[in-house]
């Protein structure tokens, strides 16, 4: 499909339609030519019962909307290398006829900086982000990155959350600078921020 960017960043607030938009892009990719493949790299970790139910609901709904979209969970490891699992999966799965969809970068970063109990926060998130950027630049196939734009709201209370918001803003800026296209989702409507049609 001619409209598929090599690297697209899709940002938006909670329930803005960013995942649905990325799924529509994947569906268009699959319909564009025979022999194409689309794979979602899911970064959510089921830390509690509500999150497990949420993940299961998303998997079920996604299978109904985009039957050809495969899913692989990444970042589920417990060791210090868990942040690099996403880059390794991208390297392993990327191919010219494969569209990779990462959903979502915010959860990926959250698990690094505010991990589940018993795990230490990542000491050097900057190195993990740089590693991800180098990986993305070398991939042979297209990639859609989904993440939250949370810098438009109230400044959060607490140093840990303020630090996370700052890190996420830096991650979004770093990836947007490297992306061929950036789309901002607002109330289900895509707004092109960078890159032409």
Residue found under tokens 């210090």: 80
Q: Is residue 51 part of a domain?
A: yes
29/14 Cα distance (integer angstroms): 25
Q: Is 60 a catalytic residue?
A: no
Q: Is residue 153 part of a domain?
A: no
Q: Is 19 marked as binding a ligand? A: yes
- Domain total of the chain: 1
Q: Is 18 marked as binding a ligand? A: yes
* The token pair that represents 112 in the structure block: 């690094």
pLDDT digits (tens, 9 = 90+) for 120-135: 777 777 888 899 999 9
Q: Is residue 33 part of a domain?
A: yes
Q: Is residue 154 part of a domain?
A: no
pLDDT digits (tens, 9 = 90+) for 32-54: 999 999 999 999 887 788 888 98
Q: Is 103 marked as binding a ligand? A: yes
Entry pTM: 0.92
- How are strands ordered across the β-sheet holding 69-73? 69-73, 37-42, 98-103, 143-148, 7-12, 181-186, 189-194
Q: Is the pLDDT of residue 197 over 90?
A: no
Q: Is residue 155 part of a domain?
A: no
Q: Is the pLDDT of residue 118 over 90?
A: no
The one catalytic residue in 58, 92, 131, 134 is 58
77/120 Cα distance (integer angstroms): 13
Q: Is residue 156 part of a domain?
A: no
Domain that holds residue 105: 7-146+163-194
CATH number for 35: 3.40.50.300
Contact indicator for 11, 175 with CB cutoff of 8 Å: no
Q: Is the pLDDT of residue 94 over 90?
A: yes
Q: Is residue 158 part of a domain?
A: no
Mean pLDDT of all residues in 76-80? 64
Q: Is residue 157 part of a domain?
A: no
Contact indicator for 4, 29 with CB cutoff of 8 Å: yes
Name the band, by pLDDT with cuts 50, 70 and 90, for residue 2: very low
């Amino acid at each position: 499909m001619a409209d598929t960017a090599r690297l697209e960043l899709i940002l938006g607030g909670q329930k803005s339609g960013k995942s649905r938009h990325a799924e529509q892009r994947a569906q268009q990719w699959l319909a564009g030519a025979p022999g194409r493949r689309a794979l979602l790299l899911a970064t959510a970790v089921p830390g509690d019962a509500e999150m497990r139910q949420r993940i299961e609901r998303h998997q079920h709904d996604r299978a109904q909307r985009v039957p050809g979209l495969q899913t692989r969970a990444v970042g589920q490891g417990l060791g210090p290398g868990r942040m690099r699992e996403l880059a390794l999966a991208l390297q392993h799965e990327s191919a010219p006829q494969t569209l990779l969809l990462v959903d979502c970068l915010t959860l990926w970063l959250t698990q690094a900086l505010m991990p589940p109990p018993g795990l230490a926060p990542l000491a050097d998130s900057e190195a993990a982000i740089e590693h991800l950027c180098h990986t993305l630049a070398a991939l042979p196939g297209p990639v859609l990155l989904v993440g939250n734009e949370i810098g438009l709201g109230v400044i959060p209370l607490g140093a840990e959350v303020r630090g996370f918001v700052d890190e996420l803003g830096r991650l979004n800026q770093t990836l947007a600078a490297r992306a061929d296209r950036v789309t901002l989702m607002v109330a289900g409507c895509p707004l092109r921020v960078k890159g032409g049609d």
